[in-house]
Amino acid sequence: MNKKPKNKNARGSAAQFFVAGELCRREFVAVVTMGNTPNTDVLCSNIKGTKFVHIQVKTFPPGNRTCSVGRKATINYGKKFIWILAGIPKKGETKNFEYYIIPSGVLAENVSKAHSAWLSDPGPKGKKRKDSDILTVHIPPFKNYIGWSIKKYKNRWDIIEKLLK
């Protein structure tokens, strides 16, 4: 039986450190901002410190259908801004870690389109849907409301590597 953690930020913080650790393992410099930088959970640079990327990390338990991203996922922050959806197993689980590395522009376009389509489609009882700031990205094998899948972004660390060359 898995109990909810007493510190609900623990898994989110852990995800940021796992992402930073993976980037360091790949010979980049990565620091976790601990909430001190708006929209940037991990700041990553090449070894020389001449090129940087900003990374926003969102966490989900592996096996979940969706990952919550919020309204800021609809904003394209530019090519040096990356979203990483991190599937971090709960304490005591043996599931594998999952990472989806998605450029800001790609995520913004697809989350915006899917949310607009969802809003314009009548709800289950034919009623107009209410807007929400809680937006989601579907985790494979699931696709979002417009049929978009993030499957091709799984473990795409090369997206960050190319930006830091």
Query: Global pTM?
Result: 0.92
For residue 104, give Cα distances in angstroms to 56, 81, 127: 9, 6, 32
How confident is residue 11, by pLDDT bands cut at 50, 70 and 90?
A: confident
Measured between alpha carbons, how far is 100 from 102 in angstroms, rounded to an integer?
6
Mean pLDDT of 5-25: 88
For residue 122, give Cα distances in angstroms to 21, 31, 49, 116, 125: 44, 44, 50, 12, 7
- Please state, as a whole number, how many other Cβ atoms lie within 10 Å of the Cβ of residue 88: 24
pLDDT for residue 107: 98
Tens digit of each residue's pLDDT (9 = 90 or more) over 73-132? 999 999 999 999 999 999 899 999 999 999 999 999 999 999 999 999 988 888 899 999
Mean pLDDT of 61-78: 96
Q: What is the mean pLDDT of the chain?
A: 93
Q: Are strands 52-60 and 81-87 parallel, antiparallel or unpaired?
A: parallel
Parse the chain into domains and list their residue ranges: 10-163
41 against 35, higher pLDDT: 41
CATH fold of the domain at 10-163: Trna Endonuclease; Chain: A, domain 1 (3.40.1350)
Contact yes or no for 31/42 (Cβ under 8 A): yes
